[in-house]
Amino acid sequence: MRLYDLLKPLLFKIDPETIHHISCSLGNLSAGIIRNLFQYENERLKTKLFDLELKNPVGLAAGFDKNGKLSSLMSALGFGFMEVGSVTFRPSQGNPKPRLFRLPRDEALINRLGLNNEGASAILNRLKKISQIPFGINIAKTNDAELIGEEAQEDFISAYEVVKEVGGFHILNVSCPNTEDGKTFENPASLEALLSRLNRSKIPLLIKFAPDLDEGVLKENISVCESKDINGYVLSNTSSKREDLTEDPVYVGSIGKGGLSGVPLFKKLPTRVEFVRSIISRDKPIIAVGGIDSGDKVFQLLRAGASCVELYTGLVYKGPSIVKEINMELIRLMDQHKVERWN
């Protein structure tokens, strides 16, 4: 039993957003000590994402470090890379609280934070100083229901313009389910319009899709991306559906709108990765994310064609040793299946 398993019942008595801020502040103060506890390194885990050398394929998903303040802590926890953001052009407080909910029986969360962040220009200087860990910047449209049509595109593009020369890669979050207008850029026409107006930098650009798109629409969206030389894909964001849950449906219903994350998302992920891998070239990165909390799941995803993985909710349920545990299990599985390395 881990120390975290003993502490979890206490921590879970506190509001999830409050405990997130408390543990991140404490963690940032003690990153040096944490590093000694949670590092696990092995040559065979090293991999590449574009030109970035990753010490292992496990990254921190977007949304945990929205303002670029946690790079030392995430490096100390052993992550091979991380996403910062989503960053939007204008600062935003996000949606009214409460807006983050636990579903412990499913090891899941529902959130409707609504892209709260300090805004691209305020975060930029912090981003320029990150050196501890390879990172990408996740960019989204400001959460404002009045920004629609061309103005929405313009806002999205303005955020990209602010950060486009910084970071190892960029991700356009076209699939956030938590904006006030509930709109995403996930139909081929809106995506095409957005991508056509981008004045790209040399830094690789990825697109992050929702898990809820049916295969036909996803394929059409990817064909738009391919025609615009998009460099890779993040699969997937949180889900607006409430499938595969064991929590009481009355409780789940009472939470209301929001994106579901965690274990229930994993079920469809390997097939999703396989599908996208079958329609894009072998050397184009796919970052798989959704319900990852074990080395076995990472092994399945890498076998399905993912280049690396990310997690968020697994860190909440399994605690700070999750990356070390995943990587140790991954090496055991690589031995067992005689896989020398991933690239």
Ligand X SMILES: Cc1cc2nc3c(=O)[nH]c(=O)nc-3n(C[C@H](O)[C@H](O)[C@H](O)COP(=O)(O)O)c2cc1C
Active site residues: 176
Task: Tell me: does residue 262 bind ligand X (CB under 6 A).
Answer: yes
Using the rule CB under 6 A, which residue among 173, 179, 221, 300 binds ligand X? 173
Using the rule CB under 6 A, which residue among 58, 109, 174, 230 binds ligand X? 109
Give the nearer residue to ligand X in terms of CB position, either 44 or 119.
119
Give the nearer residue to ligand X in terms of CB position, either 208 or 324.
208
Task: Tell me: does residue 101 bind ligand X (CB under 6 A).
Answer: no
Using the rule CB under 6 A, which residue among 34, 74, 77, 113 binds ligand X? 113
Give me the least distance between CB of 216 and ligand X, in Å please: 22
Instruction: Provide the token pair at 65.
Output: 């470090």
**Alpha carbon distances (Å) from 152 to 71, 110, 147, 193:** 30, 25, 5, 11
Q: Which of residues 1-60 bind ligand X (CB under 6 A)?
A: none
Q: Which stretch binds ligand X (CB under 6 A): 38-46, 90-98, 268-276, 305-313?
A: 305-313
Task: Tell me: does residue 292 bind ligand X (CB under 6 A).
Answer: yes
Q: Which of residues 180-199 bind ligand X (CB under 6 A)?
A: none
Task: Tell me: does residue 238 bind ligand X (CB under 6 A).
Answer: yes
Q: Which stretch binds ligand X (CB under 6 A): 38-46, 212-220, 310-318, 323-331?
A: 310-318
Give the nearer residue to ligand X in terms of CB position, either 111 or 184.
111
Number of residues that bind ligand X (CB under 6 A): 27
The letter for the amino acid at 48 is K
Judged by the rule CB under 6 A, the positions of this chain that interact with ligand X are 61-63, 66, 85-86, 100, 109, 111, 113, 115, 138, 173, 208, 237-238, 261-262, 265, 289-292, 311-314
